Amino acid sequence: MKNNVIKGSIVILILLLFLISVAAVSSADEENKDVTIMTLSKGGITIQYPSDWGNSQSTSNYSVMAISKIDSVDALGVGQININIEKKPIEGDDFETFVNSSYDKMQRDTSFKLVSSGRVSIDGKEGLEYVYTSTKGTAEKEHKAIWFEKGGQAYAIMYSAPISDFEKNLYVFDFLLSNIQIN
């Protein structure tokens, strides 16, 4: 009798765990059901991104376009979780020297810390990658920038987020990079 009660309890526990996992998967599917892929073209650049992100303001003078996670946009229209695409003319030096000089200047500022840098290849495009952190007041952010050169212009695709949100939103940056078109 005791064995039957234990077996029955185990069966009930397994059924309960199964029902909980089905409910969790259904809930996740419903959350993602409303997300569609959007396209934005501006300044010779075309990107695709999920609909829970949208146009936002950028604080950079070189910005061609910026998108942010919609629920992270502040009263000024700037997203705390954002992707900014910039275009700068390469002045004087070659592409690599031009890009590296930007980060040489940043490293002199103690609020920035370079985590890694190096060459990357994304969908056949050769570029440079920089990962760094910054602190402004009490806000700590992580950043990832991929730089490409085309036609004497340096293109920077930069993702920034508070450190606690960086990894969980990185997939949008990766998706954008794999689908970006620079004309």
CATH superfamily of 35-182: Mog1/PsbP, alpha/beta/alpha sandwich (3.40.1000.10)
pLDDT at position 138, please?
Answer: 86
Token code pair at residue 34: 């409303």
In three-state form (DSSP H/G/I as H, E/B as E, the rest C), the secondary structure along 58-122 is CCCCCEEEEEEEHHHECCCCEECCEEEEEEEECCCCCHHHHHHHHHHHHHCCCCEEEEEEEEEEE
Domain boundaries defined on the chain: 1-33, 35-182
Find the distance separating the first CA and the last CA of the chain, reported in whole Å: 75
pLDDT at position 104, please?
Answer: 85
67-91, pLDDT tens digit by residue? 999 999 888 878 899 999 999 999 8
147-175, pLDDT tens digit by residue? 999 988 999 999 999 999 999 999 999 99
Whether this prediction's pTM lies above 0.85 is answered by: no
Long-range contacts of 21-29 (CB under 8 A, 24+ apart): none
